[in-house]
Chains A and B, each alone.
Chain A
């Protein structure tokens, strides 16, 4: 499997709180992409972080990448009810073209 400790978990928070989700992977990757999937929809990309980057920010999102521990995190500050979704990290397994997704973290944000 591509994945070590799975990022499979479910988080329930209140609007306005911050949330961080983690993902770890077994095989070297050149990029980590984070996607969000809302109910009944396909995943949509949130942020991409390359192996030579430690941190990437986009609006309320912050992604980190630690290549030594082969782990990445995604933080959302000031969550909104519309952030309710499943969040996936995805890697490329040693630079292959195929993007391989983790099992996802379910985040439920209550108004």
Chain B
């Protein structure tokens, strides 16, 4: 089936540093998402993105977070500066359409550890 690739699978950084998480979405998909998961628990919605713009974001999407997808390249989540509470697994997803009835295709996640 369609695959979403996330790079890297693990990232360890010091608190206060910047980190960029990369996502290669399904090739013909137009909508992109980031979710945060702590300790295998609830998948927390962060943001969705379409046509170069943030469509919706949650309270977890702090000012230190930003997303972009320059010219069809990776869809990225940047955190600057990082905080200890940012440690989690971040999942990228993509979908063809933007309604809630669309299937989200998820990557395998990037485990971020902030020391």
Contact = CB atoms under 8 A, between A and B. Distances in A.
Nearest to A41: B108
Interface size class of B (residues with CB under 8 A): 20 to 34
19 contacts: A30-B100, A33-B100, A33-B103, A33-B104, A35-B104, A41-B106, A43-B43, A43-B104, A48-B103, A86-B40, A88-B43, A96-B56, A96-B100, A97-B99, A98-B45, A98-B48, A98-B100, A101-B35, A103-B42
Contacts of B28: none
B41 A104 contact: yes
A31 interface: yes
Given A97-B48, A101-B45, 17 more contacts: A31-B100, A35-B104, A40-B108, A41-B108, A41-B109, A42-B4, A45-B103, A48-B103, A88-B43, A91-B100, A97-B100, A98-B48, A98-B56, A98-B100, A99-B45, A101-B35, A101-B44
A40 B43 CA distance: 14
B42 A102 contact: yes
B43 A101 contact: yes
A46 B55 CA distance: 25
B91 interface: yes
B42 A101 contact: yes
A16 to B, nearest CB: 26
Nearest to B46: A98
A29 B100 CA distance: 9
Nearest to B56: A98
Contact of A42 (B56, B101, B108): B108
Interface in B99-115: 99-101, 103-104, 106-109
Interface string A76-111: 000000000010101110011111111110000000
A50 B99 CA distance: 12
Contact of B42 (A44, A91, A104): A104
A12 B100 CA distance: 31
